[in-house]
Structure 1
Amino acid sequence: MAEPWLSADDIAAHLGVTKDTVYAWIAEKGMPAHKLGRLWKFQASDVDEWVRGGGAASSGADTRPD
């Protein structure tokens, strides 16, 4: 069976981030997404692979010490 396409809300919930963060990652970090009309769609396996590869990692310039 084919993997279902997820919405921005779905992928945000999957990753535990806000939808705004998802849109920022698409624009700034190359998060794997496909635009269908005005909607963004995602495959969880592609996004998971991108996260594991460090795609969502913060750059040194915008990290703050705890």
Structure 2
Amino acid sequence: MSTEPWVTAEQVALHLGVAKDTVYRWRERRGMPAHRIGRLWKFQLSEVDEWVRADGADDFSDTVAKHN
């Protein structure tokens, strides 16, 4: 049985093609799945991919909220 490795915010950023700061902002403001291990935030790419597919990274909702 193979377990999925935990990855860093930097690895998530490379996977998604965004800045590392964006990953931390999405974790804090949009609920990107992450797990605190000691002082570090770790991610599983399968959870991140599922979150993206569920429109977790969609900017449309923020744009609508700012203009209303």
Distance between the aligned counterparts of 1:21 and 1:62, measured in 2? 19
Instruction: Give ranges in structure 2 of 5+ residues lacking alignment.
Output: none
**TM-score, normalised relative to structure 2:** 0.85
* Aligned residue in 1 for 2:52: 51
1:61 to 51, 64, 67: 64
Instruction: Give ranges in structure 1 of 5+ residues lacking alignment.
Output: none
SS in 1 for 2:41: strand
Moved over 2 A (4+): 60-63
**TM-score, normalised relative to structure 1:** 0.88
Number of positions where the alignment pairs a residue of Structure 1 with one of Structure 2? 63
More helix by share: 2
Distance between the aligned counterparts of 1:4 and 1:11, measured in 2? 12
The offset of 1:15, in angstroms, is 0.5
